[in-house]
Structure 1
């Protein structure tokens, strides 16, 4: 019997009996059948044939069936008002975009309350200590603690209104969510802080938002904020609330600069003594101001409303309604930063259905142990981690026989995926993939990757080996989280899916980069109920992001595919992410490298599927000869450009200049290609104002860039 088959011996015997009776009835139904009947084996010999037929019929009834897509996979989006450059989800009945899925969930607060009604005293937030099982806080306990904490904030002078900002400076843990829900319970907005912003940026945020209360996890973070208060840089800061224990020295230091320090439990007790009725937010109210670190200038605070969150979450629920219904038994692992919208949207989706969220211990090196213990069914992930899993799987297979078996099994599973079947109970799963699946807890049903592009090779490989649904999304903070999403049943790779039901997506011409909508290419623009309100107290940068018609200009370059999905092909702004999520401003790096004596022109390239940079350098012909002679290297200009020792010396010099200028390690190029012809207007690599045509340079040196990445990855 097949693994997981629900049948029984009695069912098979009955099927055999019915099959034999059907054979005997044929002479009366089919003329001439008597001649063939006499040639058939005796009734007893038919037993084996009947058993085989019954098993065949049983397999046909119980075989895995392909997932039924919610729409035609060859037409996943629809042109808006007949404009092929502007498209919306094919799941919508008309051009009206989705604002909410459930009638009673129009805010983030509503979504948690819905989960509370479903789960009541069921588990909500999980945490663990080293080598211990997970402990759970119930939905009712979370709601009660949030009301106490919110009442405590009001007792400390906070106002129950969306213009009241409360800072959260902490790693992922249950108290983070309880603090956020406390703010939502009384219509306050949260402002997440995180260490990679830097202290100068955090001071800017505290002052811009007028934050008086910051909730922290550890004493070290509170001390860093106090340091700026002591210098007079954060005058409005008046209260620090800590999750963990803190020293009396911190209390004394804070008192000296008129800042009160409280334990979270103290603030909750104050709330218990001054308990207030909830003041629920409205959809148009501000929920969070999410500051983006960027690469240059002061951070921008994206204003996200409750309606933004509800529409974005509802759209994902809408897409998944026929393929993945979140239930109370579903569990998500929380380790991606809660300071960013991706992780927050995942959690809101879980809470809306009464599901569970388990937090990692705070140490990324222990994440795999947390996953094995938690056994999540839902795995939010970024490409960097998927790449590590992929590399680890391939690296663990050393013998040629096992490698061949792995690749054969992957091909068989990928063929099944091609027919729309997703499962983890096939023979190959038991023989080849069981340890891989067990390393992620063994219960995984769903994974979602976002934040950066993922290689189609890695995505297809992991869909086969993990045997679960893996979706890819695309978006940015300014559209709450996502604006496109993979369609269930479409397991192809190389695109980021179709528009979410909450978003209309259009492309606009970029003449400077030779991208035109007539070719189905252009800058990606988004409009709809999930698009943010603007940047906090920054009308200039708001106007740069949002045009007069409400379209958010993403800065990414996209291409519509024939099936209505979107492919990301470039970046309009000269800022991009590496695979580990670090932002790169290449022109800043190029300006540093131009200080190197032998460098005439330089082009820095990064690939969002790679973790490092490479460069194209045109050496200065008037300098390179003398510079190389000092290093014992001679030859003509062309010969020097082809000499690997010259390249190595130049790379060393550039990295030294970069280090002196303060470039971070990920901002330094790892390999170079030396080119003997200058970039010019005549050869199409410079604009008439002598700026680099970055897209054209990248295309011109595509072969060399590919070779550098291939070589470096093999080193």
Structure 2
């Protein structure tokens, strides 16, 4: 067993030190795998490999290159790139140089990219490709602090406006420059790491707000060092694990996975191309991976749709197997909680064995065949979907945290409970306020919002307690259940409080065609819903139901589709309290997405944006209704 307190008390002062210690402990072990696209540009990728010692060689060269560019302590380096191994190398190099990383999603538009670069005062931008370089060029006149752009992929380095070439250099050039600098100053990076303080800024992550400008969350080195050691202490991961990392590293969820890997020392396969997940899983064969609920929802809906395509008999088998999985998971978890043993009655065990051969084994094979656990975070996972995967032998451990708390505040242990986000990480204090709000205090909490002392004071008390804005309940043995966002609770005109996320989650478990749903009802006398359908699933259904040849908007507008979804809404309502039921709904003509600003890059719903955009549809559902 791990001596938890000793691990936390003796954590290194910085994430850079955590990295140096990992390299020293296991220099020859494999650190990263990464795809190498085929020379022809077609076909599956080969996979390259990098040991911890080889990782250190590249990290130190990049760090020395940044030092040679004149980068000083806590000065910001922005990273605008998709998830790839170079993102991790660059981030670790920034930290080893004593600087701080500002993260930017590659999908961020020109205006917001310019705002983040300006607000952070970033002196260097590490850009993935020509598109990210273009954004910097477009705003260069308004970014006096930005002195250099380092491009990961090979592009034309001469700016279109005729500026000097030395403003732009490739990552390979920066590494060569760093190697020369290290030859003259061999202790330069080591000295920078040695001088780092635990309270020194390591990361500036801008939250994707639903309205207005994003806020920069200041996370010090100690937050990441603590996260790494806390993840190691709960023994969730093992040194022999193979992790699969595709989550955006610009998001705090992705970043905390890197901290955990440094502490534990396992191998991570890195590829942020979401369209390659299905192709990569059987190749990488991970033992664990992290994802957001939308991924599990899409997998579930995809399996259900495939079963339906196989005919009525195959679909009946799937629905039976899904119910068996849920019952099996609930019974085993309940019995473990009561007796410490996950016993299951013989009859249920027999049905489960049959369902495993017919359905579950194929599902596990699609994930690579040796997946020990998945960590789910960023939003709530519908319990029915969680129970389905648990019963199928794919353990989804829900966790909870915010950007302001370095992502991982709670996580389910191996004896997990579906529908909860698990227990607090060691070293974190938790309190439930009188109104149900979750308050946190500990080393992972942010230092504050960048340049916004008044906004910081709104959520961070002088004694360190952070107001999460989430409502929750703690079980006697420390498992946390999230009810909803405090600001998202709906109060009907009849005075009833409703948690929309709870209703939305239940609908996602009931309806295999849903992609996104927004429940509305604040200050109204009944609830309504805006529903966006999963395009592949509903279009496959349409072909089999007389709607072949129609586009997505035409399919969603069709009477047959309306009747189909109405049946699922009725099924949902059967399990709700009267005041929670959905009285009316509208199907949207397209799915919600990041490009239209309706979802955050981590796929969270931006309620105010959606409600504003579809205000006419919402008002239509209440037209003629008498408001109480």
Q: TM-score range by the shorter chain?
A: 0.7 to 0.9
In the TM superposition, what are the counterparts of 1:186-201 in structure 2 within 5 Å? 186-201=97-112
In the TM superposition, what are the counterparts of 1:226-305 in structure 2 within 5 Å? 226-229=137-140, 232-247=141-156, 250-253=157-160, 255-256=162-163, 260-275=167-182, 276=185, 277=187, 278=190, 279-280=192-193, 281-305=196-220
SS of equivalent to 2:368 = coil
Residue by residue over 1:235-290, the C-alpha shift from the partner in whole angstroms, topping out at 9 and shown as x without a partner, is: 2222111111112xx51436527861111111111111111422112322211011
Contact map agreement 2:11 2:229 (CA 8 A) in 1: no
SS of equivalent to 2:169 = strand
Q: Structure 1 residues 381 and 293, CA, compared in 2 at 3 Å: closer, same or farther?
A: same
In the TM superposition, what are the counterparts of 1:506-525 in structure 2 within 5 Å? 506-509=431-434, 515=435, 522-525=436-439
Q: Structure 1 residues 608 and 453, CA, compared in 2 at 3 Å: closer, same or farther?
A: farther
TM-score of the superposition, structure 1-length normalised? 0.64
In the TM superposition, what are the counterparts of 1:499-510 in structure 2 within 5 Å? 499-509=424-434
* 1:418 CA drift (Å): 4.3
Structure 2, unpaired ranges of 5+: 38-42, 344-348, 492-497, 509-515, 525-583, 599-607
Q: What is the aligned partner in structure 2 of residue 139 from structure 1? A: 52
Q: Structure 1 residues 174 and 666, CA, compared in 2 at 3 Å: closer, same or farther?
A: farther
Contact map agreement 2:326 2:384 (CA 8 A) in 1: no
Q: Structure 1 residues 344 and 651, CA, compared in 2 at 3 Å: closer, same or farther?
A: closer
Residue by residue over 1:8-27, the C-alpha shift from the partner in whole angstroms, topping out at 9 and shown as x without a partner, is: xxxxxxxxxxxxxxxxxxxx
* 1:375 CA drift (Å): 0.8
* 1:216 CA drift (Å): 0.9
Q: 326, 336, 339: which one pairs with 2:238?
A: 326
Q: What is the aligned partner in structure 1 of residue 63 from structure 2? A: 150
Larger Rg: 1
Q: What is the aligned partner in structure 2 of residue 701 from structure 1? A: none
Q: 381, 387, 393: which one pairs with 2:291?
A: 381
Q: 520, 526, 536: which one pairs with 2:440?
A: 526
Question: 2: CA distance between counterparts of 1:104 and 1:527?
Answer: 18
Question: 2: CA distance between counterparts of 1:525 and 1:355?
Answer: 32
SS of equivalent to 2:448 = coil
Question: 2: CA distance between counterparts of 1:157 and 1:556?
Answer: 42
Question: 2: CA distance between counterparts of 1:205 and 1:485?
Answer: 31
Q: What is the aligned partner in structure 2 of residue 121 from structure 1? A: 28
In the comparison of the two structures, how many residue pairs are matched?
Answer: 507
SS of equivalent to 1:612 = strand
Q: Does 1:315 align with 2:230?
A: yes
* 1:106 CA drift (Å): 4.2
Q: Does 1:612 align with 2:517?
A: yes
SS of equivalent to 2:160 = helix
Question: 2: CA distance between counterparts of 1:122 and 1:648?
Answer: 55
Q: Does 1:357 align with 2:271?
A: no
Q: Structure 1 residues 525 and 375, CA, compared in 2 at 3 Å: closer, same or farther?
A: same
* 1:125 CA drift (Å): 1.7
Q: Does 1:442 align with 2:369?
A: yes
Q: Structure 1 residues 150 and 494, CA, compared in 2 at 3 Å: closer, same or farther?
A: same
* 1:157 CA drift (Å): 1.4
Q: 452, 456, 459: which one pairs with 1:545?
A: 459
* 1:382 CA drift (Å): 0.7
* 1:458 CA drift (Å): 0.7
Q: Does 1:222 align with 2:133?
A: yes
Q: Structure 1 residues 665 and 358, CA, compared in 2 at 3 Å: closer, same or farther?
A: farther
TM-score of the superposition, structure 2-length normalised? 0.73
Q: Structure 1 residues 342 and 468, CA, compared in 2 at 3 Å: closer, same or farther?
A: same
In the TM superposition, what are the counterparts of 1:53-64 in structure 2 within 5 Å? none
Q: What is the aligned partner in structure 2 of residue 372 from structure 1? A: 282
Q: Structure 1 residues 241 and 527, CA, compared in 2 at 3 Å: closer, same or farther?
A: same
* 1:454 CA drift (Å): 0.8
Higher relative contact order (CA 8 A, sep 6+): 1
SS of equivalent to 1:237 = coil
Q: What is the aligned partner in structure 2 of residue 458 from structure 1? A: 385
Structure 1 stretch displaced more, 122-131 or 469-478: 122-131
Question: 2: CA distance between counterparts of 1:460 and 1:126?
Answer: 32
SS of equivalent to 1:283 = coil
RMSD: 3.7
SS of equivalent to 1:368 = helix
Structure 1, unpaired ranges of 5+: 1-67, 71-90, 93-97, 510-514, 516-521, 577-585, 587-602, 620-646, 684-715
Contact map agreement 1:557 1:568 (CA 8 A) in 2: yes
Contact map agreement 2:488 2:499 (CA 8 A) in 1: no
Q: Does 1:497 align with 2:415?
A: no
